[in-house]
A and B are shown apart, each in its own frame.
Chain A
Amino acid sequence: MIKLNNVQRSFGEKNVLKGVNLNINKGETFLLIGRSGAGKTVLLKTILGLLRPDSGTISIDSQEITQLSKSRLEKIRLKFGLVFQNSALFDFLTVWENVSFFLKQHTDMSRKDMRKKVSQTLALVGLADIEDMYPYELSGGMRKRVAIARAIIYNPKIVIYDEPTTGIDPIAVDKIVSLIKDLHKRLSVTSLVVTHDLETGLKIADRVAFLLGGKIIFEGKKEDVKNTKDKRLLQFIQGVSGGPIKEMEV
């Protein structure tokens, strides 16, 4: 479904992605882990075509996207629903306007049908009666749920969660984890979860990749993570500062 081959991307002198190879299969929940600042979000934006790679190829549904024009990229992007790290809800729009944003921009759906669809989608993520509130009036967990509702309302094939549990309390984390698992089953989508929180990520994932120093140094099933002998992955799992991962090696 998503295939990356030797993807490189730098910002000025800084090489963030140094040849990433990755293969995400249709229908699975794939977990991308890495330290904070490892370039996970850059990798995500590159997959979405928001950033062009300096070299390498990216295929979505067997279609190579790195050389596509802006307008064709926009069409490809509609296959994705993205839940941003800090929710990225439009702060000048109400919850109803945020969730219906895609429908308003790309469909001729009537206001009444849109209202109905928004209520259904909000119910799917466990929210009700908040349509007329603004994002700043919501808690962190509620904002995440609204962001998920906004990402799934147009039935995308692939749902990407960027650090879905960052900045929310442990109970809200558990609810979000259950929600991601539930939506994956109900919507039959391919899910890509990007996080530095391995413990939470493993509750969701089928397969895992570990991004370190701009490269994928581990890719395998979640059972393989527990049995790994890779010292760098072990250090990351154990969360200890001393080990083969140097401080500067993000």
Chain B
Amino acid sequence: MFFLKQIEDFFCYVGNIISFIKEIFYWLFTKKRDLKSLGREIIFVGIDSFFLVSLIALFIGMIIAFQTAYQLQQFKSEIHLASLVALSLVRELGPVIAALIVAARSGASITAGIGSMKISEQVDALEVFGVEPIDYLVVPKFIALVVCLPVLVIYADLLGIFGGYLVGSLKFSMPFGLYMRMTIESLGVIDIANGLVKSLFFGSIIAFVCCFEGFRPFSSIDVSKVVTRSIVRSFILIIVFDCILTAFFYFI
């Protein structure tokens, strides 16, 4: 019985989130956007995340470079360091790392913000004033995430590549020009498209899950629960969709 209840709850959740996504797209194309609130969300999701993304992307780039260099040294192929760092970052780690950072930082805050608005009746107040909460609260966050995440991914890729260059330069005395030429030559359009498509999916996942969970608490004690749940579910879905999209780009 417990197992059946779990299955029923799962399908209920999926059904609810699908109708939530339908409503987001309905409102996305129905009303003119308030640029002030959109700007506020873009600053919060994108610009405020730059420092954290910079720090982590730089170190991830250096870590990949050290790890790759360690293996390449055994084959005396250190020259390929730049291409391997670039490919790992642009195709895989850049989008995933940026998405996980944004989910943890902005996603948690989005869920907590909407959740506290719900329990303090601010969401009801919106409805009383004839304003659809999904349109007013969710759509600007969705747009901000879908616009900012690709930008953050490109930025994370560049910083990571620079981190790789620091290792290549200090450990193997690779000149900047050579490192960059090896990086550019190794990257095709499909690799860059791969990273950007993933970032669009991940931005949407964070918006859907974190906003949806934000509308679910009924008391203040529920807020911490839904924040944890939204982060866990975003992380899982980001990794699952990363696997699916990686397989898709591998086969096309």
Which A residues contact B (CB, under 8 angstroms)? Answer: 45, 48, 50, 74-75, 77-78, 80, 82, 84-86, 88-91, 101-102, 105-106
Contacts and interface: CB of A to CB of B under 8 A. Distances in A.
21 contacts: A45-B124, A48-B128, A50-B127, A74-B130, A77-B128, A78-B130, A80-B128, A84-B125, A85-B121, A86-B120, A88-B121, A88-B124, A89-B122, A90-B122, A91-B117, A101-B129, A101-B131, A105-B129, A105-B130, A105-B131, A106-B130
Nearest to A80: B128
A5 B151 CA distance: 56
Nearest to B124: A50
Max chain B Cβ within 10 angstroms of own Cβ: one of A48, A77, A90: A90
A161 to B, nearest CB: 13
A27 to B, nearest CB: 22
Contacts of A91: 117, 120, 122
Contacts of A90: 117, 122, 125
Nearest to A102: B129
Interface in B97-150: 117, 120-122, 124-125, 127-131
A11 B8 CA distance: 19
A83 B127 CA distance: 13
The DSSP consensus for interface residues of chain B is helix
A77 B124 contact: no
B121 A77 contact: no
Lowest 6 A-B CB distances belong to which pairs?
A: A88-B121, A88-B125, A84-B121, A74-B130, A82-B128, A102-B129
Contacts of A78: 130
B130 A77 contact: yes
Given A48-B128, A74-B127, 16 more contacts: A50-B124, A50-B127, A77-B127, A80-B128, A82-B125, A82-B128, A84-B121, A84-B125, A85-B121, A86-B120, A88-B120, A90-B125, A91-B120, A101-B129, A105-B130, A105-B131
Nearest to A156: B128
A177 to B, nearest CB: 22
Contacts of B117: 90-91
Nearest to B218: A11
A246 B169 CA distance: 80
B119 to A, nearest CB: 10
Nearest to B121: A88
A48 B127 CA distance: 10
Contacts of A77: 127-128, 130
A82 B130 CA distance: 12
A102 B127 CA distance: 11
Contact of A88 (B122, B130, B131): B122
Nearest to B127: A50
Max chain B Cβ within 10 angstroms of own Cβ: one of A77, A86, A88, A91: A88
Contacts of A45: 124
Contacts of B121: 84-86, 88
Nearest to A74: B130
Nearest to B113: A92
B95 to A, nearest CB: 30
Interface string B194-230: 0000000000000000000000000000000000000
Contacts of A102: 129-130
Contacts of A50: 124, 127-128
Contacts of B127: 50, 74, 77
A86 B128 CA distance: 15
A102 B125 CA distance: 11
Nearest to B119: A86
Nearest to A81: B128
Nearest to A160: B128
Contacts of B130: 74-75, 77-78, 102, 105-106
A146 B130 CA distance: 19
A208 B58 CA distance: 68
B25 to A, nearest CB: 17
A125 B121 CA distance: 22
